[in-house]
Amino acid sequence: MNYDRSIYLDAVKETLETNIFYHSLALEACVGGVYDHLQSENRITSNEPKKDDWLLAGLIHDIDYAGEFKDQHPANTAQALAKHNLTVSDSVMQIVKAHGWHYPGGLKPESLAQWTIFCADSLTGLIIAVALVYPSKKLSEVKVSSVLKRFLKEPKFAAGTRREDVKLCELETALNIQLDKFIEICLGSMQKIATDIGL
C-alpha cells in the first residue's frame, strides 16, 4: 500500500455519520473485491488505475457528504479533504467523480475502476438491509440468492437502491460481470470486514 490508509480512515470516520462511514468501508471492500476478480481474469490493463487508487477512492468517495458540502456532493471532495490537510491524486479523484455520475461534479464512468465504484455504490445499502432482516443481523448469514431475490423481485425493499445503476455492471462496455456474480463479489468482500461495519 502506497498511502497511509489510517489517516484517510480517521478523516472519513471523523467527518461522516456512522452509517455513511460504514457504507464507505463497505464500498472500499467491494471495489477491492471487484479489482481482485477482474485481475484473476486478466482484465486489468495497464490503463487502469492501480489497486491503491481503487481502494482509496472507495474509502473517501463520500467525504463531502456532510456539513456545508453535503448539498453539492460530490463536487467538494477536494475541499472536504483539505479540512484534514489531505489530498488525493487525480487518478483517485476521477474515480470518486464517477461514483456521482448524475450529480454536480460527477463524471461518466469510463475505466473499470470508475464503473465499479458507480455500480457498487448503491448495492452496499441493499446488502446491509438484507443482513438487518435476520434476527442476528449478521452479514455472514446473508446469501447471494437472498440479495438477488430482494434486488429483482422486491423493488420496494431498500427502495433507495438505484437498481438500474447497479445493473449496469452487466454491460459489456461497463464491467461485463453478471449481476449475480457482482453481488457475490460484493457480498463476499463485505463479509470479510463485517465486524468493522457493525454486522
Grid cell 437502491 in the structure block, residue: 161
Q: Tell me, what amino acid is at 129?
A: A
Closer CB to Fe ion, 53 or 121, in the complex: 121
Residue 28 interacting with Fe ion (CB under 5 A)? no
Helix (H) or strand (E) holding 11: helix 5-15
Residue 165 interacting with Fe ion (CB under 5 A)? no
Closer CB to Fe ion, 14 or 145, in the complex: 14
Distances (CA, A) of 129 to 3, 66, 134, 137, 148: 32, 22, 9, 9, 13
Closer CB to Fe ion, 121 or 184, in the complex: 121
Task: Fill in the per-residue mask, 82 to 121: x = in contact with Fe ion (CB under 5 A), - = not in contact.
Answer: ---------------------------------------x
Is the omega angle on the peptide bond into residue 109 within 30 degrees of 0, that is, cis?
no
Q: At a CB cut-off of 8 Å and minimum separation 6, what does 132 contact?
A: none
Which residue in the set 62, 64, 165, 184 belongs to the binding site for Fe ion (CB under 5 A)? 62
Residue 64 interacting with Fe ion (CB under 5 A)? no
Binding site for Fe ion (CB under 5 A): 62, 121
